[in-house]
Amino acid sequence: MTPSQDIQIISFSNATKDSRKLLKRFVDFHWIHYKNDPQYVPLLDYEYLGFKLIGIHGFFEADNLFLKHAKMQFFLAIRENQVVGRCNAFVNHRHNDHWKDKVGFFGQFETIDDSIVSRTLTEAAAEWLKSHGMDRMRGPQNLPVNEATPGILTRGFDTRPVMYYHYNKPYYEEHLRKAGFKPVKRVLSWEYPVAQPFPENYMRLSEKVIKRYDLKFETWDQRPLDVRKREMLNIYNAAWNDNFGFVPFTEEEFFAIIDDMTLIMDKGLFIFVYKQGESAGFFGGVPNVTEKLGKIGRCRHCELLRAIRMLMGKNKTRGYRLGYLAVKPEYRKLGLDAVMLYKQKLYSEARGYEYADLGWVLDDNKMTIRIIERVGSIPSKTYTVFEKKL
């Protein structure tokens, strides 16, 4: 423990029996912190801590696939024997190998409205990262990397909760700035009312693009699952390779994500496009099961019931999240992303969805932003990624 005024920092790993108890305390804090906040919809505790009985491996468990190429430490800020803040810090070796840098990350950042707590907590994480050879600290980056939206919410605090878009207190941005962090990237999202018609010229242009490039489309089940997995992995890693912060997926990681996704999937929301027989890209969405993940009365430990309600209600969600877009570099600027959005619009409208969340989109991705704005989407959330030198 390291004292700072009246704050103590407990630093621990996830490798021992004692650390398991601390990890439970780590997870419990967000339940307390957001107890009376209707905008906060917590993930299942199983997603953090695992649930061996049904084969779930938690983000924080030592056997998580991410930790095959990363090292992680956890931090609790304690005042008068009460948790007042938390975060983790990690070194992602695949990120640093890919980008040829020495960036360390912090995530799962939560704190009471006290900038001294925030600074003490992030300084402890910074020291750990520095001791592991890092020269910059970036975040917050929650787990799972490449799935959870990076940064903290800085606009859209009253918008609809959507899966893998975490919610946080509005004062976090001020706290991080006071702790010496500066913004380095923003991530944007929009909401689109599905029943709202696309502009006629957009639809006409989409049909022209389809004919010009002899495009063919498939849905999820038109190829065997193992073929579909490899196809998606190859497209995704190629398409996202140069995007800020992206870390190429390993086959093991990506296939595990797809296996998990099939539990909540509406297969009609995935569209695959082929140009003259060659796989060119895909566009996918999943039902916004966050609608079904709300708290169950005052029952804090009703996680199994929440999980059952989520799975039973996946086909009854009013909306979905468009979070999986990838077009191979050699097929960019042909309008394939716009055409896939058009095709998905036709399906989702027939299916009866009311809204679609479109994101997350990097703020310098001008082409995608133009397409989203052109169909009348409404700006929703902005997340900001912060960084400081160590």
Q: Could you report the per-residue pLDDT of 297-324, keeping only the tens digit for each?
A: 777 778 888 888 888 999 999 999 988 8
Q: Using CA atoms, how far apart are residues 125 and 181, in angstroms rounded to an integer?
A: 13
208 sits in which H/E element: helix 200-212
Q: Say how far apart CA 245 and CA 214 lie, in whole Å.
A: 34
Residue limits of CATH 3.40.630.30 in the chain: 2-189, 192-382
Listed residue (66, 58, 120, 112) closest to 90, CA to CA: 66
3-class SS of residue 95: helix
The pLDDT of residue 299: 72
**Are 279 and 239 contacting, i.e. CB atoms less than 8 angstroms apart?**
no
- Terminal-to-terminal C-alpha distance of the chain: 21
The confidence band for 54, taking pLDDT boundaries of 50, 70 and 90, is: low
- The yes-or-no verdict on residue 1 having pLDDT over 50 is no
Per DSSP, the residues of 310-367 read: HHHTGGG-SEEEEEEEEE-GGGTTSSHHHHHHHHHHHHHHHHT--EEEEEEEETT-HH
For a pLDDT cut of 70, what percent of the chain falls above it? 97
On whether the CB atoms of residues 163 and 288 are closer than 8 A, the answer is yes
| Dihedral sign computed on CA atoms, order 314, 317, 321, 322 | positive
What is the rounded CA–CA span in Å between residue 146 and residue 160?
Answer: 21
3-state secondary structure of 286: strand
CA-CA distance, 258 to 265, in Å (whole number)?
10
Note the Cα 136 to chain centre separation in Å: 22
Sign, Cα dihedral of 110, 115, 116, 119: positive
User: How much of the chain, in percent, has pLDDT values that exceed 90?
Assistant: 69
How distant, in Å, are the alpha carbons of 218, 226, 321, 346 from that of 223? 9, 8, 23, 22
Per-residue pLDDT of 189-234, as tens digits, reads 999 999 999 888 998 999 999 999 999 999 999 999 999 999 999 9
Q: 77 and 8 in contact (C-beta within 8 Å)?
A: yes
CATH architecture of the domain with residue range 2-189: 3-Layer(aba) Sandwich (3.40)
Q: CATH homologous superfamily for 192-382? A: Gcn5-related N-acetyltransferase (GNAT) (3.40.630.30)
> What confidence score (pLDDT) does residue 5 get?
63
Give the pLDDT confidence score for residue 2 in this predicted structure.
45
Q: In the predicted model, is pLDDT for residue 351 greater than 90?
A: yes
In the predicted model, what is the mean pLDDT of the chain?
92
Instruction: Kindly state the average pLDDT of the residues 115-134.
Output: 97
Pairing of strands 355-362, 103-111: unpaired
| Predicted pLDDT of residue 384 | 98
E-strand ranges in 93-159 read 103-111, 136-139, 152-155
Q: 226 forms bridges with which residues in the sheet?
A: none
Token pair in block for residue 275: 């140009």
User: Averaged over 16-34, what is the pLDDT?
Assistant: 91
Q: For residue 55, what pLDDT band results from cuts at 50, 70 and 90? A: low
Q: Under a CB-based contact definition with an 8 Å cutoff, are residues 218 and 380 in contact?
A: no
Question: Tell me: the pLDDT tens digits for 89-99?
Answer: 999 999 999 99
Residue that wins the pLDDT comparison between 194 and 263: 194
Does 376 or 297 have the greater pLDDT score?
376
Identify the weakest region by mean pLDDT among 132-136, 193-197, 324-328: 324-328
Q: What is the pLDDT of residue 19?
A: 86
Which CA distances in Å does 34 have to 169, 173, 373?
Answer: 9, 17, 33
Interacting residues of 327 by C-beta distance below 8 A, sequence separation 6+: 235, 239, 280, 281, 336, 337
Q: What is the pLDDT of residues 66-110, one digit of tens each?
A: 999 999 999 999 999 999 999 999 999 999 999 999 999 999 999
Does residue 370 carry a pLDDT above 60? yes
Q: Cis peptide before 140, with omega less than 30 degrees from 0?
A: yes
